[in-house]
Amino acid sequence: MLLIQCPYCGPRPELEFAYGGQAHIARPLKPADLNDDEWAAFLYMRVNTKGVHAERWRHARGCNRFFNALRDTTTDHFLAVYKTGEARPALNTAGGHS
Amino acid sequence: MTQFRAAKGGRIDRSSAIEFEFDGQTYKAHPGDTLASALLANGVHLVGRSFKYHRPRGLLAAGAEEPNALVGVWRDSARYTPNLRATTVEIYPGLKAESQNRSPSLKFDRAGINGLFSRFIGAGFYYKTFMWPKTAWKSLYEPTIREAAGLGRAPTQADPDRYSNRHAHCDVLVVGAGAAGLSAARAAAAAGARVILCDEQAEMGGSLLSDVHTRINGLTASAWVASVLQELKANPRVTLLARTTAFGYFPHNHLGLNEKLTEHVAAPKPDQPRERLWQVRAAEVVLAMGAIERPLVFPGNDLPGILLADAARTYLQRYGVKVGSVVAVVTAHDSAYQTALDLHAAGVKIAVIADTRAEVSGDLAAQAWAAGIRIQHNSTVIGTRGKLRVTGIDLGQVSGSNVQPLESIACDTIIMSGGWTPSVHLHSQSRGKLVWDESLSAYIPGQTAERTRSVGSCRGIFGIAASLADGTKTGAEAAGTTSSITYEVEETRLANTGFIGALPQPGGKPGDKAFVDWQNDVTTKDLALAMREGFESVEHVKRYTTNGMATDQGKTSNMNALAFLAAGLDKPIPAVGLTTFRMPYTPVTFGSFAGYSRGELFDPVRRTAIHDWAQAQGAVFEDVGAWKRARYFPRGNEDMHAAVDRECVAVRQNCGIFDASTLGKIEVVGPDAATFLERLYVNSWANLKVGQSRYGILCREDGFVYDDGIIARLAEDRFHVTTTTGGAARVYAFMEDYLQTEWSDLSVWLTSISEQYSVIALQGPAARRVLEPLVTGVDVSAQALPHMGVVSGFICGIPMRLFRVSFTGELGFEINVPSDYGRAVWEAIYASGQPHGIVPYGTESMHVLRAEKGYIIVGQETDGTMTPDDVGLSWAIGKTKPDFVGKRSLARSSMHAKDRKQLVGLRTQDPKLVLEEGAQIVDSPGQKAPMRLIGHVTSSYHSAVLGHSIALAVVRGGRARVGQTLYVPMPTGDIPVIVTSTVFYDSEGAKLHG
Ligand SMILES: [Zn+2]
């Protein structure tokens, strides 16, 4: 079971969280302006990263807030957590312990 | 005592003799024995038949790595545990055990004949034998193979025992309490760390418990163990867990530990848990798992009486048991010399030490010479003699690549050592890398992926002094400090040599019945065959031959198979690679994993405030998610159909009362509440007046219906949103998602109020007359509170939110009161309804009543691919809204294709015939498979009110087919159906507005 750092509550077991998929996919402000291909890309196209993945989590059984995290999908180590709306942090190192 | 019990020594309690039973025969043992040591003390080596060939097998090991001696142990018919390793079963008075995979008895086994056909059931036989005819697999081949090849039988009764579960945190978790683990725990504890030390055995100490020669700080090894354990026990920050196996290493230093609590107890207390599953989150982990001795691979190496050398030493020094009378030793490592010397000193005749090495030096060899033991260098084994027990060994002499037969030597036991394989299982499970150490000829832990450190022989550090130093240094490191603890050790130094692969045979052939994997019956011939057939990847060879895939996970076989493969492929071992280690390290019971989650505690149950009332009325309940919902209220001998018919008629003629408390309820509050709903739901909300409600539809971004419900505006900035029962949690999460991550510009607060309100639906022509006398502060007349009107007031003095809504098509109210008052208000309404013929009705009637009106149920009429228009709800969409969730997807042309599946009604010619829900629909009769399917039945009931069956269905281009005859193909023939409107009852809606 992963140990996940909620930016509001601190480290909590994975059981308290709900996964929210890939982060930084903003809903288009005017969906009507998108053609079908663009809309399909927004709806369905997701990366399948081997390595650092920016993803959303919700502390569903805690503070109930969404936040973003950088997780290395090869190790499951969290490299950073940050609040919704904040920019994806730059990483100095490629890995390390959580 | 028997002739195989040594005159002295061992950690058994010789003052007490206990009896146990094996295969129906009674034997004597001492407390402290394992089933394995007790059987050996009684001269019993034959303890099982092998998995595939039913070959007679004896004990190979003394610990958890044992592949052969799988036994069934039981206390009573409900407590039968198969596949236990006899080496880990502790003896208690009256223990009952039996061997497995033999019929009728161990000594005479019918399927032993499998051995004769072994050339047909070699590697890959599952894949290439019995391929035809296909049907024979199920009826003939599989049952026969399962009968012949297998493990123990499962118990037939429910497990009556309790299994406990505990979460724990610590600074340092130490796995393994041998020299390295004990010293690591001691150093970490000395630094003030919170330490958990676990060990799979009954007694902590590991190999030190069978080491009678080494001195640590002037103490015998076992005395030193006792002193350290005493010190650790006295430390309140240290938890010692014996009989506890760390079976799994999960991400972020989360380890699964299985603690056996009563397996060793003769009469466990009934309230005592049998096992405990520990889930430990450790800041740092120290793995001190030790090393496992490698067997040697030679023809006939699986006869009872052939076992690992160190196992023989453990049986002698820890359990006071001699493994035989005349022992031949085959070794590639110095440690077997110590065993030979120990056995010799205990009066066992050592027939020969056959050493695979060209030269042997060191103290132990010198002592063996001095003791007059024959040592044969450059040895190999080319065969063994005996049927149910080894009677002799055929030695060969190796010179260069040439192997010549040497001589046959009589013996009743062969002990062997191919050297030691570090136990890297948990390190590998933690996704740590393994590196090949050429000097050790072993894989040892490389780069770690977790905060974990390996110490002692599991990382290739052999010897007591070295392990103690390694454990001390690393244990302190794990606790974030350094240690000044040192140990004075007197021990015999051993050369780190070994042999991996198969011992050389005359002519360079693999030889017959040279077993690599004892438990899965894999021989060198099987591996050679796999290579001849082109399998080169170690992962493929593993699956093709099943080497290493048995319950022992190849603890004694993986390295030999790998080396044999590497030699055959002419590659260095690291180029062949290693298979991945998986959890569990040793088998864990289902009971341990289930823990408390059994019976009533298997899954949480949600009950409404009215549940007990319904139960008292004899309601039959159904599970809806975690909720218990009253399905119908039978009277007298009514079956469900009779009860539902009566309930439905009563609602339409008089009045019914229904517990709708499970509906999801979310309060949406804030200055931007209307805007929020406007963006989310397909409907318009800005124009919804306070005191009104509207049927809302929620789509996902892909345009498909996700949920529905009534949304009421209680104030300009306050909405009471209802969701489906099953959708409550996900709709709430869906709302939070948009609010927190997309529309943070909106000032809105969401509160789940599902459990705060009981919802009582009062439906039927008499509903108003029943309700009126109970309410205050509200006018429930048709003029003051029209259909879809909402008002706040009091009922029986209790504050309520009163919705005039209907899911039945009748005049209806939904009364929302705080849950604490739900039952009281329900009973008041029920009493008030008595003169009006009120009946309670359940979910089954609710379904029929709503289907008569063509109202959909999300998840029944929809399946995640239905648009609002598909289910006839396009009228609800706010056409002038610039955007809502799903709008862009609904604009795609395919969402308007004429042949989309659309919701329609179906009528059967036979009014009594109720279609099967889920049945497929075709447009012409008599079709042969594969038929052209154009839809399916989504809801189907008998309608007592209408006097005929009704059904809802989704059909391609369905709305244009109204009046057509379609067909529902069933095994009994095609059922013709006529496509109708979805509304079967009161299509003008006059009753709704009554
Ligand atoms: Zn939180």
In this structure, what CATH number is given to the domain that contains residue A51?
Answer: 3.30.2270.10
- Residue of A66, A72, A73 to mutate for B, most B C-beta atoms under 10 A: A66
Structure-token match 């492929």, residue found: B569
Rounded to 5 degrees, what are φ and ψ at B428? -70, -40
| Gap between the Cα atoms of B435 and B317, Å rounded | 34
Element (H, E) at B336: helix B335-345
Rounded to 10 degrees, the C-alpha dihedral B576/B578/B579/B582 comes to -170
User: B686: phi > 0 → left, psi -120 to 50 → alpha, else beta; which?
Assistant: alpha
- Measured CA to CA in angstroms, residue B602 lies from A16, B255, B594, B801 at distances of 19, 23, 8, 36
Residue B241 pLDDT greater than 70, yes or no: yes
Whether chain B has a CB inside 8 Å of the CB on A65: the answer is yes
Give the up-direction half-sphere exposure of residue B604: CA atoms within 13 A in the CB hemisphere.
2
Residues A32, B887: C-beta atoms closer than 8 Å: yes
* Residue A62 C-alpha, separation from nearest chain B C-alpha, in angstroms: 13
Residue B116 pLDDT greater than 90, yes or no: no
Which residues 698-717 of B are in CB contact (within 8 Å) with A? 701-702
Give pLDDT, residue B106: 81
B634-643 tens-digit pLDDT: 999 999 999 9
Whether chain A has a CB inside 8 Å of the CB on B235: the answer is no
Nearest Cα residue to B746 out of B722, B717, B721: B717
Residue B294 pLDDT greater than 60, yes or no: yes
Residue B552 burial (CB < 10 Å; 0-12/13-18/19+)?
A: buried
Contacts of B5 (CB under 8 A, 6+ apart): B41, B320, B321, B322
A37-63 tens-digit pLDDT: 999 999 999 999 999 999 999 999 999
Query: Chain A residues with CB inside 8 Å of B883's CB?
Result: 30-32
Residues A85, B431: C-beta atoms closer than 8 Å: no
Helix/strand number for chain B, H first, E second? 24, 51
Whether chain B has a CB inside 8 Å of the CB on A33: the answer is no
Length of chain B: 994
Residue B323 identity: V
CA B300 to chain centre: 38
Whether chain A has a CB inside 8 Å of the CB on B251: the answer is yes
Give the up-direction half-sphere exposure of residue B422: CA atoms within 13 A in the CB hemisphere.
29
Query: Which domain does A29 fall in, by range?
Result: 3-83
- Measured CA to CA in angstroms, residue B175 lies from B223, B259, B312, B454, B961 at distances of 21, 13, 25, 9, 70
**Every domain of chain B and the residues it spans:** 163-291+422-490, 659-841, 894-980
Among chain B residues, CA nearest to A86: B741
Give pLDDT, residue A98: 42
A25 lies in some domain: yes
| Cα angle: B338, vertex B343, B344; to 5 degrees | 95
Residues A3, B882: C-beta atoms closer than 8 Å: no
A37 lies in some domain: yes
Compute the average pLDDT of residues A80-92. 93
Give pLDDT, residue B978: 98
- Residue of B169, B249, B250, B252 to mutate for A, most A C-beta atoms under 10 A: B252
Residue B664 pLDDT greater than 70, yes or no: yes
Element (H, E) at B967: strand B965-970
Nearest Cα residue to B393 out of B418, B376, B416, B410: B410
Give the up-direction half-sphere exposure of residue B133: CA atoms within 13 A in the CB hemisphere.
3
Whether chain A has a CB inside 8 Å of the CB on B782: the answer is no
Give the up-direction half-sphere exposure of residue B950: CA atoms within 13 A in the CB hemisphere.
23
| Gap between the Cα atoms of B786 and B596, Å rounded | 52
Compute the average pLDDT of residues B910-925. 97
Strands (E), B781-848: 790-795, 798-803, 812-818, 838-840
| Gap between the Cα atoms of B927 and B921, Å rounded | 11
Q: How is residue B978 written in tokens?
A: 């006529």
Residues B742, A36: C-beta atoms closer than 8 Å: no
Q: Which residues pair with B980 in a beta bridge?
A: B905
CB–CB of B992/B809 below 8 Å? yes
Instruction: Report CA(B33)–ligand 1 centroid distance (Å).
Output: 52
Compute the average pLDDT of residues B666-671. 98
Query: Chain A residues with CB inside 8 Å of B741's CB?
Result: 56, 66, 84
ipTM of the complex: 0.95
Residues A32, B737: C-beta atoms closer than 8 Å: no
Query: Chain B residues with CB inside 8 Å of A33's CB?
Result: none
Whether chain B has a CB inside 8 Å of the CB on A11: the answer is no
Residues A66, B740: C-beta atoms closer than 8 Å: yes
Residues B741, A32: C-beta atoms closer than 8 Å: no
Element (H, E) at B847: helix B843-852
Give pLDDT, residue B104: 74
Whether chain B has a CB inside 8 Å of the CB on A30: the answer is yes
Residues B252, A1: C-beta atoms closer than 8 Å: yes
Instruction: Report CA(A98)–ligand 1 centroid distance (Å).
Output: 18
The CATH number of the structural domain formed by B163-291+422-490 is: 3.50.50.60
| Gap between the Cα atoms of B942 and B644, Å rounded | 9
Instruction: Report CA(A84)–ligand 1 centroid distance (Å).
Output: 13
In percent, the amount of chain B with pLDDT more than 70 equals 96
* Residue B613 C-alpha, separation from nearest chain A C-alpha, in angstroms: 32
Residues B279, A1: C-beta atoms closer than 8 Å: yes
How high does pLDDT run on average in chain B?
Answer: 94
Instruction: Report CA(B247)–ligand 1 centroid distance (Å).
Output: 31
CB neighbourhood size of B940 (10 A): 21
* Residue A89 C-alpha, separation from nearest chain B C-alpha, in angstroms: 17
Number of domains in chain A: 1
Q: How is residue B762 written in tokens?
A: 């009062």
* Residue A30 C-alpha, separation from nearest chain B C-alpha, in angstroms: 8
Whether chain B has a CB inside 8 Å of the CB on A27: the answer is yes
Q: Which of B254, B431, B702 sits opposite A75 (nearest CB)?
A: B431
Instruction: Report CA(A59)–ligand 1 centroid distance (Å).
Output: 5
Whether chain B has a CB inside 8 Å of the CB on A45: the answer is no
- Residue of B255, B452, B701, B741 to mutate for A, most A C-beta atoms under 10 A: B741
Residue A96 pLDDT greater than 50, yes or no: no
Whether chain A has a CB inside 8 Å of the CB on B736: the answer is yes
Instruction: Report CA(B894)–ligand 1 centroid distance (Å).
Output: 41
Q: What end-to-end distance do the CA atoms of chain B give, in Å?
A: 96
A94 lies in some domain: no
Whether chain A has a CB inside 8 Å of the CB on B164: the answer is no
Residue B715 identity: A
B756-774 tens-digit pLDDT: 999 999 999 999 999 999 9
Give pLDDT, residue B649: 98
Helix/strand number for chain A, H first, E second? 1, 6
CA B516 to chain centre: 29
* Residue B544 C-alpha, separation from nearest chain A C-alpha, in angstroms: 28
Q: Which of B250, B737, B889 sits opposite A66 (nearest CB)?
A: B737
Helix (H, G, I), strand (E, B) or coil at B894: helix
| Gap between the Cα atoms of B977 and B970, Å rounded | 13
Rounded to 5 degrees, what are φ and ψ at B836? -100, 10
Q: How is residue B287 written in tokens?
A: 């793995």
| Gap between the Cα atoms of B25 and B14, Å rounded | 22
Residue B426 pLDDT greater than 60, yes or no: yes
CB–CB of B428/B581 below 8 Å? yes
CB–CB of B991/B765 below 8 Å? yes
Nearest Cα residue to B611 out of B645, B659, B571: B659
* Residue A84 C-alpha, separation from nearest chain B C-alpha, in angstroms: 6
The pairing of strands A18-22 and A52-58 is antiparallel
Contacts of B708 (CB under 8 A, 6+ apart): B695, B696, B697, B698, B723, B724, B856, B858
| Gap between the Cα atoms of B263 and B260, Å rounded | 6
How does residue B509 score in pLDDT terms, banded at 50, 70 and 90? confident
Instruction: Report CA(A23)–ligand 1 centroid distance (Å).
Output: 17
Structure-token match 């009429």, residue found: B861
Residues A1, B887: C-beta atoms closer than 8 Å: no
Q: Which residues pair with A19 in a beta bridge?
A: A57
| Gap between the Cα atoms of B181 and B198, Å rounded | 9
Whether chain B has a CB inside 8 Å of the CB on A12: the answer is no
Query: Chain B residues with CB inside 8 Å of A18's CB?
Result: 733
B699-741 tens-digit pLDDT: 999 999 999 999 999 999 999 999 999 999 999 999 999 999 9
Compute the average pLDDT of residues B198-208. 98
- DSSP class of residue B642 equals H
Helix (H, G, I), strand (E, B) or coil at A41: helix
CB neighbourhood size of A11 (10 A): 13
How does residue A95 score in pLDDT terms, banded at 50, 70 and 90? very low
Q: The CATH number of B894-980 is which of 3.50.50.60, 2.40.70.10, 2.40.30.110, 3.20.20.480? A: 2.40.30.110
| Gap between the Cα atoms of B493 and B365, Å rounded | 12
Query: Chain B residues with CB inside 8 Å of A75's CB?
Result: 431, 449
| Gap between the Cα atoms of B704 and B707, Å rounded | 9
Whether chain B has a CB inside 8 Å of the CB on A56: the answer is yes
B330-349 tens-digit pLDDT: 999 999 999 999 999 999 99
Whether chain B has a CB inside 8 Å of the CB on A25: the answer is no
* Residue A31 C-alpha, separation from nearest chain B C-alpha, in angstroms: 6
CB–CB of B905/B982 below 8 Å? yes
CB–CB of B24/B1 below 8 Å? no
Q: Which residues pair with A83 in a beta bridge?
A: A67
Among chain B residues, CA nearest to A60: B733
Whether chain B has a CB inside 8 Å of the CB on A21: the answer is no
Residue B845 burial (CB < 10 Å; 0-12/13-18/19+)?
A: buried
Query: Chain B residues with CB inside 8 Å of A79's CB?
Result: none
Nearest Cα residue to B68 out of B94, B26, B106: B106
Class of domain B659-841: alpha beta
In percent, the amount of chain A with pLDDT more than 70 equals 94
3-state helix, strand and coil shares in percent for chain B, rounded to the nearest 5: 25, 30, 45
CB–CB of B721/B665 below 8 Å? yes
Query: Chain B residues with CB inside 8 Å of A65's CB?
Result: 740
| Gap between the Cα atoms of B904 and B937, Å rounded | 10
* Residue A96 C-alpha, separation from nearest chain B C-alpha, in angstroms: 8
B836-892 tens-digit pLDDT: 999 999 999 999 999 999 999 999 999 999 999 999 999 999 999 999 999 999 999
Q: Which of B251, B449, B701 sits opposite A43 (nearest CB)?
A: B701
B176-202 tens-digit pLDDT: 999 999 999 999 999 999 999 999 999
pTM over 0.80: yes
Compute the average pLDDT of residues B584-608. 94
- DSSP class of residue B315 equals H
